[in-house]
Amino acid sequence: MVMFLDEERIARLLSWEKLIPAMERALAEFSQGRVLQPVRQMLTIEEEKRYLGIMPAVAETAMGLKLVSFYPGNAGTDVPTHMAMVLLFRADTGEPLAVMDGRLITEMRTAAVSAAATQYLAAPESRVLALLGSGVQAQAHLEALSHLHPYNEIRVWSRTPEHAARFAAAHGATATSAEVAVRGADVVVTATNALEPILRGEWLKPGAHVNAVGSPLPNRRELDDRAMRNTLVADSREAVLKESGDVILSGAPIYAEIGEIFAGLKPAPRDQTTIFKSVGLAIEDVATARLVYDAALVMPPRA
């Protein structure tokens, strides 16, 4: 029988402890050419408001497809901007294994990839974390990054000050301006739907690391040209050159894919100011779905 897993059950099965190394393995395999995956096909239903993404991937141990809706017009409402479903198949026989809600998978795998990248790219003595954005991804990144490394100070900014204040109160952070949040920070996360840059390169201290995960469209960006002139690492060269306005509009050269660094094919530039631009890959979703499915086999649903 095909298993169905809703978000509540996935939340019980998925942990940062297992997900972060799983994302490191999946992206290493991707950059070694061991994953078959086209660039996401994004259907524009209504410009700037409604999109549908189609994301298949095949690896040695998993095969699947994610359908994800991106509705930036939902921002500020009770409906998430990203919702998804993941279909999982056996890679060797093609048999369908599971259908599962993909919203939490998308949320957690994005932050897990950033956490894995931060392990390799940020200074080991990092203590100050800045979050630009105060939504779902800001919270997920705070959880994932804190799982691997303690931060003495957490700063948060949002275009809506009330949202930043609420986030700060809930997580022991300090709500402030974007510039104050970034200046002196060791690790920065940008997780917004900004149309124009909200992070300026002049604010970054030498050796800082940035995880840029927001504004995943070719005409949007979060970082200015000066920020993008730092050492740029991508989840996928092909994907960011098609989907990321930060990369396309700045013309920034790509030093490496993060999977190349994970696999030891390129050295990690820890002594440099680094930008990790992530647009999200199907193999991340499929590998996460396989992790959830395997956990579900040994942890039966509650009666």
CATH number of the domain that residue 38 is part of: 3.30.1780.10
The enclosing domain of 250 has a CATH number of: 3.40.50.720
Chain segment 150-208, per-residue pLDDT in tens: 999 999 999 999 999 999 999 999 999 999 999 999 999 999 999 999 999 999 999 99
Q: Are 32 and 262 in contact (CB under 8 A)?
A: no
Query: Are both 190 and 154 inside the same structural domain?
Result: yes
Query: Are both 42 and 19 inside the same structural domain?
Result: yes
Domain range for 93? 3-105+283-298
pLDDT tens-place values along the chain, 303 residues long? 899 999 999 999 999 999 999 999 999 999 999 999 999 999 999 988 899 999 999 999 999 999 999 898 887 788 988 899 999 999 999 999 999 999 999 999 999 999 999 999 999 999 999 999 999 999 999 999 999 999 999 999 999 999 999 999 999 999 999 999 999 999 999 999 999 999 999 999 999 999 999 998 899 999 999 999 999 999 999 999 999 999 999 999 999 999 999 999 999 999 999 999 999 999 999 999 999 999 999 987 765
Greatest CA separation found in the chain? 56
* Residue from 302, 280, 300 nearest 84 by CA: 280
Query: Are both 180 and 266 inside the same structural domain?
Result: yes
86 pairs with which residues across the strands? 66, 100
Query: Are both 266 and 293 inside the same structural domain?
Result: no
Q: Report the pLDDT value the prediction gives residue 186, as an integer from 0 to 100.
A: 98
Spatial CB neighbours of 300, under 8 Å, sequence gap ≥ 6: none
Chain segment 10-32, per-residue pLDDT in tens: 999 999 999 999 999 999 999 99
Provide the 8-state DSSP code for 188. Answer: E
Q: Are 212 and 276 in contact (CB under 8 A)?
A: yes
Query: Are both 136 and 274 inside the same structural domain?
Result: yes
Query: Are both 163 and 76 inside the same structural domain?
Result: no
Query: Are both 20 and 71 inside the same structural domain?
Result: yes
Does 257 fall in a domain? yes
Q: Report the pLDDT value the prediction gives residue 303, as an integer from 0 to 100.
A: 53
Does 118 fall in a domain? no
Does 117 fall in a domain? no
Does 18 fall in a domain? yes
Distance separating alpha carbons of residues 143 and 218, to the nearest angstrom: 28
When divided into structural domains, the chain yields a total of 2
Query: Are both 147 and 167 inside the same structural domain?
Result: yes
Q: Are 97 and 65 in contact (CB under 8 A)?
A: no
Does 274 fall in a domain? yes
Distance separating alpha carbons of residues 209 and 272, to the nearest angstrom: 8
Q: Report the pLDDT value the prediction gives residue 14, as an integer from 0 to 100.
A: 98
* Residue from 232, 217, 216 nearest 272 by CA: 232
Query: Are both 128 and 274 inside the same structural domain?
Result: yes
Does 162 fall in a domain? yes
Does 114 fall in a domain? no
Residue whose structure tokens are 């050419």: 33
Query: Are both 133 and 97 inside the same structural domain?
Result: no
Separation of CA 275 from chain center: 13
Does 214 fall in a domain? yes
Distance separating alpha carbons of residues 249 and 241, to the nearest angstrom: 10
- The rounded radius of gyration (Å) of the Cα atoms in the chain is 18
Report the predicted TM-score, pTM, of the whole model to 2 decimal places.
0.95
Pairing mode of beta strands 96-101, 128-132: unpaired
